[in-house]
Every structure is written in structure tokens, then in C-alpha cells.
Amino acid sequence: MTSSLMTEFESIYHSPATTLSSAPGRVNIIGEHTDYSDGFVLPCSLEFCTKVLYRKRADNLVVVHSTNYPGESDSFDVSGDITHGSSQWGNYIRAMAFVIKRAGHTLGGVDVLIDSDVPQGSGLSSSAALEVAIGGMFSESSSLNLSAEKIALLGQEAENDFMDCQCGIMDQMISAKGEPGSALMIDCRDLSTKSIKIPEDLSIVIVNSNYPRKLVDSEYNQRRIDCEQAAKKMNVAMLRDANLELLAQSREQLTAVEYKRAHHVITENQRVMDAMSALASNDIKTLRQLMSASHNSLRDDFEVTVAATDGLVEICQQVLGDNGAARMTGGGFGGAIVCLCRAEDVSRIKQAVSEQYFDRFQLTADIYVCNAGSGLKVEQLEPLPA
Ligand code: ADP
Ligand code: MG
């Protein structure tokens, strides 16, 4: 925790912050677009995180500033109906207040300063990190004692019902429950988790394409509808309950698009199961095959990649050969790719991306070498020395 952030809080609110709630961004190793079909995912939380410093107020106002949006602020009264405001990012805080109140809780006022190093709009889920950190704050400041899982579920509701993005539960669950040094297999039906230690000699490299994302929410919501339609026509509750045999039998009933979407989800769920064992046994060759198949399925069947992320995956796969794995990560339509490799190959990835990516796509990528960081934490702050 940096003292400059505490100083900034004090200069905005003229009183020191008392508490810090922090929640991480995430990278998904495998299991993409499976969460909203009740499937399996294998993400890990990052050390990039969103910090929420706060102090309770005597009234019912929530006042928010963010170091990522200097000069902007939002404030709203939590005793009345929570409606949308004019600040785009402020609406995420309103969204959390809205769903927590809807669940029957009473909230009190807080002064809030947000600070985050999670890249925004890159598929590393800065929105879930923000929702979960704000959920942790409201839970503590209003003495609600919400569990990490409950905060994750409320974060998803906030995104679905207030922010109009029909995301699944993965991002909020991993942000709330991630563990340092481990990936978490999440069963998105019963929300049970299994943690898998990331082998010490395996590096996680994220390459952000910086491709300008467009129409992400509408495309995303359409994928969800396609999956629901396919499940309905196959007479199963969710695609989680389907298999390739049933898919083959149902081919006539499905449109070509529904067939492809279902094919991705069914095969991806199996790849998560296989990747879990491969990761636990540090079997990089199998991880390479699985992550490559996942990427191809997201490109051809689910149609959520763009040329820039396909190109980055190609560049990294070529450099890594059999010694590393690469695929797009996150919702797609741009965003980032993730590579798993040995430490000595990291500099080769950096070199290949800098030599080839700009030439091919006229974009500059950002590369982060990451460790799995901690999930949601809420801690009391020591006052700064006078
Ligand atoms: P992603 O979750 O992939 O990063 P989204 O578009 O879902 O991308 O979420 C990004 C949005 O989340 C931003 O436009 C902003 O509204 C909000 N947000 C994320 N981090 C912060 C922050 N530190 N301060 C204020 N708002 C933030
Ligand atoms: Mg998001």
C-alpha cells in the first residue's frame, strides 16, 4: 500500500482512509465462454489489482474518485433508489449498491478512492476486480458479512442487471477467491473450486493486443443467446449437459451457427478437465495441444477472435514450438493472449512480438510476465505517521 495513495485520499476527503479492499484482475488459462453454460473454467488471479480505499461517512452518501480517471467523481445517496449516473465508471459502484440493496441489505455512506493497475478493456477483467473490491467494501463498511462467493454472485448480477453485460460467473469468482501461486478450476454450476498449483518453472506471459474493441457487449450477449437456443433445441438445461453424441444427433434441429457454438462449449469443457491434469503434472506438451485447440475453436466455432489476436497466437506458438502454449484469453474481440512457457523463453516471446506484430497489424502490444496473486482482501489501515 503506497503512502502517496493514502495522502491522495486525505487531500480529497480531508480525513484519512481507514480501510482497504483489494481484488485482482484475472487471466483465464482455459475454459472460455463456458461459464454461462454452467461449464468449467481454469483461470488464475493476477498480481494486478484494484484497490479501494475508504472511510465511513456519517450520512448516506457514497462519494467516489478514481486515480485512473483524474478530475472525475461520482456521488449518490444509498438510502434512496439507485439509478444510473452520468459517470460511466461510477455506474459500476452504483451497480454494486443497487444489487446489494435489492438483496435486502441496508447500506451506509462511504468516501472512496479507487486505484488500479489492471489494464482496462483488455480481457483481464478490470470490471470484475472493481465490482468485487467494491463488494468487499460495502460488506465491511455496512457490516453485512458477505462471503467471497456471495460478493462474486452480486458482482455478476451488477454486470448483468445494471451494466447490461450478460457475463457468466468466472471473472467475479476468481477475483473473489483466487489464491497466490495457483490456478482455480471452477465448476460454474455448483461453484465448487479446486486449486491447482502453477509449477514454479512455468511462466505466465500475457500479451495485450491493444486492438480497439468494438461491439463487445452486443456480440457477447448474442453468443449467450446462441448457446441457450442450442441447449433448448437439444433438450438439455444448459450446454454443460450436452455431449458430442447428442450434438451429432441434434444437427438437423440446430442452425449452422448454433451447432458451431455448441461444439465449442462441449469440446472446451473437456479441454478444461484435461488441462487441469496437464497443469498439475507440468505437462507443457499437452497444455500446448489443448490451448491451441481452444484457440482454434474460439476462432472457427465461437468466432470471437480477431486477426490481431490470431496473429499474436501464431507468433508466440511459432517461437515456443513444443515448449510452450498460447491462446487468446478473456471474452475476445481483441484483448489479450496468454502464453505458458519456461522462463528462458520469455525474452524470445518479447523479441518475436516486437519484430513481427507491428509490421503485421500496425499495433504495439504490451507484454506482462505475471504471477498468480491473491483474491479479495479487506484490511484495516494504520494511520500515516503525523
Ligand atoms: P475489462 O473488464 O475487460 O477490463 P470492461 O469494459 O468490462 O473491460 O470494464 C472496463 C470498465 O471498468 C472501465 O471502462 C471502467 O468503467 C471500469 N473500471 C475498471 N477499472 C477502473 C478503475 N480503476 N477506476 C474506475 N473505473 C474502472
Ligand atoms: Mg469486464
Same domain (yes/no): 237, 128: no
pLDDT value at 1 more than 60 = no
pLDDT in tens, 95-108: 999 999 999 999 99
Cα(89) to ligand 1 centroid in Å equals: 7
pLDDT in tens, 190-227: 999 999 999 999 999 999 999 988 767 788 889 999 99
Domain assignment present for residue 100? The answer is: yes
Ligand 1 nearest atom to the CA of residue 159, by list position: 7
Domain assignment present for residue 384? The answer is: no
- Say if pTM beats, i.e. exceeds, 0.85: yes
- What are the angstrom distances between the C-alpha of 126 and each of 33, 51, 83, 207? 17, 11, 22, 16
Which residue in 35, 74, 115, 171 is the catalytic one?
Answer: 171
Same domain (yes/no): 190, 128: yes
pLDDT value at 53 more than 80 = yes
Q: In which band, very low, low, confident or very high, does the pLDDT at 291 lie, cut at 50, 70 and 90?
A: very high
Residue 69 Cβ contacting ligand 1 at under 6 Å: yes
Domain assignment present for residue 375? The answer is: no
State the CATH number of the domain containing residue 156: 3.30.230.10
pLDDT value at 363 more than 60 = yes
Residue 127 Cβ contacting ligand 1 at under 6 Å: yes
Percent of the chain with pLDDT over 70: 99
| Atom 11 of ligand 1, residue of closest alpha carbon | 127
Same domain (yes/no): 318, 238: yes
Task: Check residue 32 and give its pLDDT.
Answer: 98
Domain assignment present for residue 377? The answer is: no
The residue among 160, 179, 197 that closes a domain is: 197
Q: How many domains does the chain have?
A: 2
Same domain (yes/no): 272, 365: yes
pLDDT value at 49 more than 70 = yes
Same domain (yes/no): 97, 162: yes
pLDDT in tens, 299-336: 999 999 999 999 999 999 999 999 999 999 999 999 99
| Atom 16 of ligand 1, residue of closest alpha carbon | 89
Residue 116 Cβ contacting ligand 1 at under 6 Å: yes
The residue among 197, 227, 257 that closes a domain is: 197
Ligand 1 nearest atom to the CA of residue 116, by list position: 23
Same domain (yes/no): 74, 184: yes
Same domain (yes/no): 183, 50: yes
Ligand 1 nearest atom to the CA of residue 216, by list position: 6
Domain assignment present for residue 376? The answer is: no
Same domain (yes/no): 334, 227: yes
Cα(171) to ligand 1 centroid in Å equals: 13
Task: Check residue 383 and give its pLDDT.
Answer: 74
Residue 361 Cβ contacting ligand 1 at under 6 Å: no
Q: Comparing 28-32, 122-126, 344-348, 372-376, which segment has the lowest mean pLDDT?
A: 122-126
Domain assignment present for residue 47? The answer is: yes
Same domain (yes/no): 242, 183: no
Mean pLDDT of the chain: 96
Residue 88 Cβ contacting ligand 1 at under 6 Å: yes
Task: Check residue 323 and give its pLDDT.
Answer: 95
Mean pLDDT of 276-287: 98
Task: Check residue 386 and give its pLDDT.
Answer: 64
Q: In which band, very low, low, confident or very high, does the pLDDT at 147 lie, cut at 50, 70 and 90?
A: very high
Same domain (yes/no): 250, 173: no
The residue among 179, 197, 215 that closes a domain is: 197
Same domain (yes/no): 170, 210: no
Residue 155 Cβ contacting ligand 1 at under 6 Å: no
Which among 80, 87, 98 is positioned nearest to 160, based on CA atoms? 98
Ligand 1 nearest atom to the CA of residue 126, by list position: 4
| Atom 23 of ligand 1, residue of closest alpha carbon | 116
Domain assignment present for residue 314? The answer is: yes
Q: In which band, very low, low, confident or very high, does the pLDDT at 40 lie, cut at 50, 70 and 90?
A: very high
Domain assignment present for residue 56? The answer is: yes
The parent domain of residue 89 ranges over 2-197
pLDDT value at 172 more than 80 = yes
For ligand 1, mutation pick of 126, 131, 215 (most atoms within 8 Å of CB): 126
Residue 114 Cβ contacting ligand 1 at under 6 Å: yes
pLDDT value at 27 more than 70 = yes
State the CATH number of the domain containing residue 208: 3.30.70.890
Same domain (yes/no): 141, 46: yes
pLDDT value at 123 more than 70 = yes
Q: In which band, very low, low, confident or very high, does the pLDDT at 121 lie, cut at 50, 70 and 90?
A: confident
